[in-house]
């Protein structure tokens, strides 16, 4: 990914907002009534700590909302890396679609303004970002099952297992031009960790040897490029596209997936693998196998269990869908079960491979995760990261050999 000094043209009517200008803006929108009173009684603060956008919490006498606005550049790098505002459109589209299939697992959407690249949505409170909760050692008894359910519903209902071919192709087309976001993933996940890219960083000098080994590792690079090819060509389902633990908000009882601005039609295993990768990084960031670390590992098992059980019941109950049309069962009644098993096995293998890629990119690439970054002692951090890197390599190369999540978790320990 190369940065440039050319600023992107922003559409007429776009203005990056500040807390003050946001309140004045909101007064002109249909959601003003949710806040109550007038803008002079509202308080807004910018709370975004992600890599790309502005995020505001606005509170009024009657209620509160969250406002997310895209910037015309990558926030974590600055204006030298322009990024189309259109990602706000894809995020809104995906949130609405996911809201149809998993309404309890995404925030409610109140308002979308295309020229302003801005969405007003439910303020999830007292939720916190899952990654922060895991770093703090909190347990969320329903989180893994909820994410599994979100994945099963959002992936099943947007695939050929449910849709007729016309609707499926129309849906693919809706996301085809989210190219800038897909290109970020193609570069940052599958390429940059494997060459000396300008914006790469790693814990140095502790990981210099392994970073170089990975760059020289033809077998690994072949496998990663095979996964990249799958990412680019397997339009199986509408993906969230960036389902890490920073894209999930939790309380003890509730779980919501946010931020699907990387949404596109891709392989189901990519979303499943993204979440597994982030649970595994949370696990590897704890330097010993204490109760809490093992609890995190167990969540990976619960996630897969919940996803596969939910996906299987949707499959059993399905009425439409183009693939494995019921006319094929007449002379081969066991086909229905075999088809499901084949799909689950493929998603599982893909998910492990993508999980491996996701772990490596967060340790050797541009965008790191706080699970590791919050470990101040560089030697300690590097030791955790090295374990994660070696395991990620195994996940990628042996993805077709692991038969169950239990096998994966044993190997992780
Ligand atoms: C330049 S954007 C870096 C990363 O932040 C997002 O969360 C995505 O994971 C992206 O790859
Ligand atoms: Mg995000």
Atom of ligand 1 nearest to the CA of 52: 2
> For residue 91, how far is its CA from the centre of ligand 2 (angstroms)?
10
Return the pLDDT at 50. Answer: 86
> For residue 51, how far is its CA from the centre of ligand 1 (angstroms)?
6
CA 358, 361, 362, 366 torsion-angle sign: negative
> For residue 282, how far is its CA from the centre of ligand 2 (angstroms)?
18
Q: Would you tell me how many other CB atoms lie within 10 Å of the CB of residue 137?
A: 13
Q: H-helix or E-strand containing 78?
A: strand 78-82
Give the single-character DSSP code of 377: S
> For residue 242, how far is its CA from the centre of ligand 2 (angstroms)?
6
Atom of ligand 1 nearest to the CA of 189: 11
3-state secondary structure of 221: helix
- 70-80 pLDDT tens trace: 999 999 999 99
Atom of ligand 1 nearest to the CA of 366: 3
Distance of CA 367 to the CA centre of its chain: 14
* Nearest ligand to the C-alpha atom of residue 187: 1
Residues with CB under 6 A from ligand 1: 51-52, 74, 184-185, 188, 242, 367
Return the pLDDT at 9. Answer: 64
In DSSP notation, 203-215 reads STTTTHHHHHHHH
Query: Which residue's C-alpha comes closest to atom 11 of ligand 1?
Result: 185
Residue 71 to residues 50, 88, 362: CA-CA distances in angstroms? Answer: 12, 9, 23
Nearest to 353 by CA among 212, 190, 237: 190
Query: Which residue's C-alpha comes closest to atom 8 of ligand 1?
Result: 242
> For residue 333, how far is its CA from the centre of ligand 2 (angstroms)?
44
* Nearest ligand to the C-alpha atom of residue 68: 2
Of 3, 51, 185, 193, best ligand 1 pocket probe by most atoms within 8 Å of the beta carbon: 51
Whether omega for the bond prior to residue 126 falls within 30 degrees of 0, making it cis, is: yes
- 283-299 pLDDT tens trace: 999 978 899 999 999 99
Helix ranges restricted to H, 286-377: 291-317, 335-364, 370-373
Return the pLDDT at 320. Answer: 86
CA separation for the pair 299, 262 (Å, rounded): 25
Global pTM exceeds 0.95? yes
Is 214 within 8 Å of 193 (Cβ atoms)?
Answer: yes
Return the pLDDT at 6. Answer: 54
In the structure encoding, which two tokens stand for residue 263, read together?
A: 């949404």
The dihedral over CA atoms of 113, 116, 120, 125, expressed in degrees to the nearest 10, equals: 170
Return the pLDDT at 12. Answer: 83
Contacts by 38-41 with C-beta closer than 8 Å and gap 24+?
Answer: none
> For residue 356, how far is its CA from the centre of ligand 2 (angstroms)?
19
Query: Which residue's C-alpha comes closest to atom 1 of ligand 1?
Result: 74
- Going residue by residue through the chain, which has 413 residues, state the pLDDT in tens, using 9 for 90 and above: 555 555 566 778 899 999 999 999 999 999 999 999 999 999 999 999 888 999 999 999 999 999 999 999 999 999 999 999 999 999 999 999 999 999 999 999 999 999 999 999 999 999 999 999 999 999 999 999 999 999 999 999 999 999 999 999 999 999 999 999 999 999 999 999 999 999 999 999 999 999 999 999 999 999 999 999 999 999 999 999 999 999 999 999 999 999 999 999 999 999 999 999 999 999 999 978 899 999 999 999 999 999 999 999 999 999 889 999 989 999 999 999 999 999 999 999 999 999 999 999 999 999 999 999 999 999 999 999 999 999 999 999 999 999 999 999 999 99
57, β-bridge pairs: 45, 66
| Listed residues: CB within 5 A of ion ligand 2 | 50, 259
Whether omega for the bond prior to residue 205 falls within 30 degrees of 0, making it cis, is: yes
Return the pLDDT at 301. Answer: 98
Is 247 within 8 Å of 258 (Cβ atoms)?
Answer: yes
């Amino acid at each position: 990914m190369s940065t440039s000094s050319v600023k992107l043209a922003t559409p007429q009517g776009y203005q990056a907002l500040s807390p003050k200008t946001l309140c004045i803006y909101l007064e002109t929108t249909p959601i003003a009534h949710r806040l109550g009173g007038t803008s002079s009684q509202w308080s807004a603060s910018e709370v975004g700590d992600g890599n790309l956008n502005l995020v505001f919490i606005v509170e009024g006498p009657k209620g509160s909302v969250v406002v997310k606005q895209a910037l015309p550049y990558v926030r974590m790098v600055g204006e030298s890396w322009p990024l189309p505002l259109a990602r706000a459109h894809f995020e809104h589209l995906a949130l609405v679609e996911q809201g149809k299939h998993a309404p309890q697992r995404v925030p409610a959407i109140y308002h979308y303004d295309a020229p302003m690249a801005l969405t007003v949505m439910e303020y999830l409170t007292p939720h916190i970002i899952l990654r922060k909760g895991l770093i703090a050692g909190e347990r969320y008894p329903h989180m893994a099952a909820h994410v599994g359910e979100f994945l099963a519903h959002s992936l099943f209902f947007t695939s050929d297992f449910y849709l007729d071919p016309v609707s499926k192709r129309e849906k693919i087309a809706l996301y085809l031009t989210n190219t800038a976001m897909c290109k970020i993933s193609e570069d940052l996940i599958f390429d940059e960790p494997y060459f000396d890219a300008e914006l790469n960083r790693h814990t140095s000098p502790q990981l210099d040897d392994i970073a170089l080994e990975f760059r020289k590792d033809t077998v690994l690079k072949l496998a990663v490029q095979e996964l990249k090819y799958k990412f680019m060509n397997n339009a199986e389902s509408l993906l969230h596209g960036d389902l890490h633990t920073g894209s999930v908000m939790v309380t003890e009882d509730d779980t919501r997936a946010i931020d699907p601005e990387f949404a596109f039609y891709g392989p189901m295993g990519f979303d499943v693998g993204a979440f597994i990768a982030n649970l595994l990084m949370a696990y590897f960031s704890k330097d010993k196998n204490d109760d809490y670390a093992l609890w995190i590992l167990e969540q990976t098992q619960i996630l897969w269990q919940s996803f596969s059980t939910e996906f299987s019941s949707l499959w059993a109950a399905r009425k439409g869908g183009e693939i494995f049309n019921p006319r094929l069962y007449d002379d081969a009644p066991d086909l229905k079960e075999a088809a499901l098993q084949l799909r689950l096995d493929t998603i599982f293998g893909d998910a492990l491979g993508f999980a491996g890629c996701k772990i490596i990119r967060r340790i050797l690439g541009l965008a790191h995760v706080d699970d590791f970054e919050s470990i101040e002692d560089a030697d300690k951090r590097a030791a955790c990261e090295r374990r994660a890197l070696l395991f990620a390599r195994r996940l990628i190369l042996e993805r077709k050999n692991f038969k169950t999540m239990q096998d994966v978790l044993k190997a992780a320990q």
